[in-house]
Amino acid sequence: MTEANVSGAAFFDLDKTLIEGSSAVHFARAAYKEGMLTRRRLASDAWANVRFRLRGSTDQGTDELRGRILDAIAGQRTVDLARLGPHVLAGILPLLYREVLEEAYAHQDAGRRAYIVTAASQELADVLAHVLVLDGGIGMRSEVHDGVYTGRPAGPFTYREGKAEAIRELAAREGIDLAESYAYSDSESDLPMLRTVGHPVAVNPDRELERVARDAGWRIMRFDKLGRRVKVGGGAVGVLLVAGAGGFATARMRRPRFRRPRLARALARR
């Protein structure tokens, strides 16, 4: 039963928090299949996915990545990248952490809105929020002119302090009490976001976040076993830290071949 007068919200990071691993690997697969990503780039980025899952992101790597993404999508039609959405979702949805999704629904049932907050594209955040029946998404926005990406940002990069800034803006706009709100993340890079709310939760935390969470007495949820059973295979191919920008994006894109996209395989929970 939804409680009245609940003014808080719940904010969920995406990669390694709401889903297992990096969402970008599934964009890379879809982009490769549609001729938008070279085999060389697919192979050379494979280790980056494993490294991200085991050790988390770095400021330098993420800054470089943002520039690569914006450069890569300049001149691309939004519709061509957006059409990869069904293929990307087909890979992402089976990787949802049921425990975290149930947390989001419990917050909704208690009267709190639930949002995805990610360094991935605003479009991916919106699509996932819609499919998962959450209340909205906050992601990286890219400038669009006449249906084509310009290669310039259209808002703050939702990473580190950028996530906290975006949450504060949303809270001011929607009348959300951050002291009564919750935030969930796996990474030390999200400490600004976690410290923005009254109830931070560490999910599959990296080493530094776990240290901070234990010292501060924050709740810790853990169920990602990759660190104990590294599997480098089909799931560890082609990655960028974010699953695109302004539709979906990747580095070293080819011009898309304009053909009818293949149907995504039926979604199945493992």
Which residue out of 13, 80, 186, 190 is catalytically annotated?
13
φ and ψ at residue 249, rounded to 5 degrees:
-155, 165
Tokens of 161: 């302090």
- H helix intervals, 21-142: 24-33, 39-44, 46-55, 59-73, 78-82, 85-92, 98-109, 122-131
Which residue out of 15, 80, 186, 206 is catalytically annotated?
15
CA distances from 222 to 2, 95, 188, 201, 225 (A): 28, 15, 15, 11, 9
Q: Is 13 annotated as catalytic?
A: yes
Bridge-based pairing of strands 142-145 and 148-153 is: antiparallel
Catalytic residue numbers read 13, 15
